[in-house]
Copies of this chain bind each other. A is one copy, B any other.
Amino acid sequence: MARTGTEELRRRNRAALVEQLHRHGPQTRAELTEALGLNRSTIGALAADLAESGHLHETTGRSTGSAGRPSTLVECVPKAATVTAVEIRADRVRFALVGLGGEVLERAETELDGTDPVEAVAVVTGGTARDALEAVAAVPGLVDAGVVAHSTELGWAGRDLAADLASATGRAWQVVDTATAAAVGEWSRGDAHESVKLLYLHGGRGLTAGLVADGRAQRGGSIQLGHIVVQPGGRECACGLRGCLEAEMEVFGYAEDIEHATAAAGMGDALARDGLRRSGEDLGRALGAVVTATGPDEILFGGWLRELYLSAAAPVRSALAETTLPHLRSRLRLRTPVLGDEGALIGASETGFAAVIDGMR
């Protein structure tokens, strides 16, 4: 139960201050006063509080150029609160230790040659995992309360990844799906901050999507885009259904495939061009259902879907136009992510920091 009382008020304000600095970078006390709507003296007390506990660092005296006494600059101390983030793919595991404020303190990567990703995570995070306040793993698949219910890319069904990671590393883990993590990343550290409802499509060995509304991941916002049925009674999919997008589009299962096809199409290969067009149309049709069901205002094409979209924007758009109402379409922006393939890792760390900051309240 949430504690009450006046101390609660203080904790909330402290957390709000840290969140503000974490999200918007170093700011002066004057700016913080404006942003949080608190009194100068209150900000002073909070900052002193947090400086003493080591979360913040104050730099006095920087001149602003305008008149008046210059305001002291206050910034996060990265090492004061760290989050371990890993992104698991079929072929590799990436790790980053991120400090408060978003600075990446450490970074590592391991190729997987048949080794279990959980072991690789234990090795690649080393001792750092234990010191971090939160640890978050992004996996491409349908995640429900730490359990990977389905992952085409990893071939998992019902694997309790949170438990496995916990026993391998000796600490608690949060598990999120790659697409949702990437959506969070693009929203918080990319340029999708104005988006009210952001849909991120991730192309790996499977197709997943993640939804972020008002900057927060939706409960059950992990979408198995690859298992939207676009052709009832169509090709058999590995998941047991028929006519899944993944099965119908299986021409392009890897980043290399799409690059080859794009290159061939550019050289006049009609077959490749046709394949791109049909894949774009399949994707657009699946998107139509997702857009109708979720109503996003922005869609980002990540992973190898980025290449597909850049090569086949027209068929994607026209198939989308044939399967969504004009109003849903008119407010919709289609783009590619700006964080590249770092989005999921960054988003995973932001998911961790959200928990850290929530824990301060």
Q: Does A44 contact B (CB under 8 A)?
A: no
Bound complex: CA A295 to CA B224 (Å): 10
A219–B224 CB distance below 8 A:
no
CB-defined contacts of A290 to chain B, threshold 8 Å: 289, 293
Name the residue in A37, A38, A158, A232 with the highest tally of chain B Cβ atoms < 10 Å from its Cβ.
A232
Chain A facing B: main interface SS: mixed
| A293 touches which of B232, B289, B324 (Cβ 8 Å) | B289
**Which residues of A (306-350) have their CB < 8 Å from a CB of B?**
322-328, 331
**Which residues of A (207-239) have their CB < 8 Å from a CB of B?**
213-214, 218-224, 227-230, 232, 239
Bound complex: CA A324 to CA B142 (Å): 12
B327–A223 CB distance below 8 A:
no
| A219 touches which of B213, B223, B239, B331 (Cβ 8 Å) | B213
Q: Does A9 contact B (CB under 8 A)?
A: yes
Q: Does A241 contact B (CB under 8 A)?
A: yes
CB-defined contacts of A327 to chain B, threshold 8 Å: 142, 144, 149-150, 157-158
A325–B224 CB distance below 8 A:
yes
**Which residues of A (1-44) have their CB < 8 Å from a CB of B?**
1-4, 6, 8-9, 13, 36-38, 42
B295–A220 CB distance below 8 A:
yes
B38–A4 CB distance below 8 A:
yes
Which A residues fall within an 8 A CB radius of B? Answer: 1-4, 6, 8-9, 13, 36-38, 42, 142, 144, 149-150, 157-158, 196-197, 213-214, 218-224, 227-230, 232, 239-242, 285, 288-290, 292-297, 322-328, 331
List 20 additional contacts besides A196-B219, A220-B297, A224-B325; criterion CB under 8 Å.
A4-B38, A4-B42, A9-B9, A144-B331, A150-B325, A150-B327, A158-B327, A196-B220, A213-B220, A220-B294, A220-B295, A220-B296, A223-B292, A223-B294, A232-B322, A241-B323, A241-B325, A289-B289, A289-B293, A290-B293
List the 8 shortest-distance A-B pairs measured between CB atoms, nearest first: A220-B295, A289-B289, A149-B327, A293-B293, A229-B323, A1-B37, A290-B293, A228-B292
- Report 6 cross-chain contacts, Cβ distance below 8 Å, ordered by A residue: A4-B9, A142-B325, A220-B297, A239-B325, A241-B322, A241-B324
